[in-house]
Amino acid sequence: MSVRVQTSQNVDVEYEPASIGERILANLIDYLIYIAWGIGGILLFQAFHSGGSLSTFFSILFLFLPIAFYPLFTEYFLNGQTLGKKALKIRVVRLDGGKPTLGAYILRWLLIVIDSQLFTPFVAVVAVAAGGKGQRVGDIAAGTTVVKINKTVSLDDITYQPLAENYTVRYPEAAQLSDRDIETVRVVLRKANFDLTNRTAERVSGVLNVGRVYADSQQFLTTIINDYAYLANQEK
C-alpha cells in the first residue's frame, strides 16, 4: 500500500505509509523520554525541595508542560518528527504535498486526546488500519499522514557505480543539463533531505519538461544523474 501525494506542481509522489508497529514504537520511545524527564525532574526537585506552593508551581511548569507540548514543538521544529519518529525514520507530511502548517500540527496535537488518551490507543490503531492512508483521527482532521522517509544513499551508490553495458537511458533530456547542474543534484542527494529532494525533482522535471517515470524523487534524480553520465560517455 502506498500514499499518493500531489505536490503544488501537480506531480504525484508515492510514499509508503508508516506501519502501525512503527508508529507504536515511535510513541513508546517518546513515552520513555517522558518517563526519563519526569524521573529527572522529580529527583531534581527532591534535591532542592523547599516546600510550599512555589515547588508546586515549578512542578507544573517544568514537568507537566514540557511533556504536554512535546509532540507539538518537536514535530513543528523538527520537520514533522518527534524524537521517536526520527529514530524510526518516519515523518508527518501533508496530503496536498505542502509542508504541514503550524495549524495542522496544533490540530493533530489537540486530537491526541481522542486518538490515544480518551478512548485508549485503540481508536488510533483502528483509524490507521482502516483508513488506507495511515491516518489517525488527528491526521484526518489536519489533512496529514505519517510516511516512511527514503533511506539515505551514498554518492558511491548514486554516481560512481558502473553502469551496465546494456544500460537504457530513461531521460535523454538529461543531456541538456550541465556539469554544474548535475553536481547540484548530487549535493541534494547527499543531504538526504526529504523536502529538498522533492523540490529539486520537481524543478528538474520542469526544466527538462519530462514526465516522471519514477514517482520516488530520490530514484528520479538518481536516474537523471546516471542518464547524464551515460550520455556524456557516449559523446567521448
pTM of the predicted model as reported, rounded to 2 decimal places: 0.59
Among candidates 77, 105, 81, 106, which has minimal Cα distance to 29?
81
| pLDDT at residue 154 tops 50 | no
| pLDDT at residue 122 tops 50 | yes
Q: In sequence order, what DSSP letters do the residues of 101-162 get, joined into one string?
A: PHHHHHHHHHTHIIIIIIS-THHHHHHHHHHSS---HHHHHHTEEEEEPPPP--HHHHHSSP
Dump pLDDT digits (tens) for 38-95. 888 878 777 766 555 556 676 677 788 899 999 999 999 998 999 999 999 999 988 7
Q: At what angle do helices 20-47 and 65-77 cross, to 10 degrees?
A: 130
Residue owning grid cell 514535530:
75
User: What pLDDT is stored for residue 3 in this prediction?
Assistant: 62
Residue 137, Cβ neighbours under 10 Å: how many?
A: 21
Dump pLDDT digits (tens) for 31-50. 999 999 988 887 877 776 65
Residue 183, Cβ neighbours under 10 Å: how many?
A: 12
Measure Cα distances from 142 to 101, 139, 154, 222 in Å.
9, 5, 34, 33
Mean pLDDT along residues 156-161: 45
User: What pLDDT is stored for residue 1 in this prediction?
Assistant: 53
User: What pLDDT is stored for residue 157 in this prediction?
Assistant: 43
User: What pLDDT is stored for residue 160 in this prediction?
Assistant: 44
Dump pLDDT digits (tens) for 162-217. 667 778 888 999 999 988 888 888 888 887 788 888 889 889 988 898 876 566 88
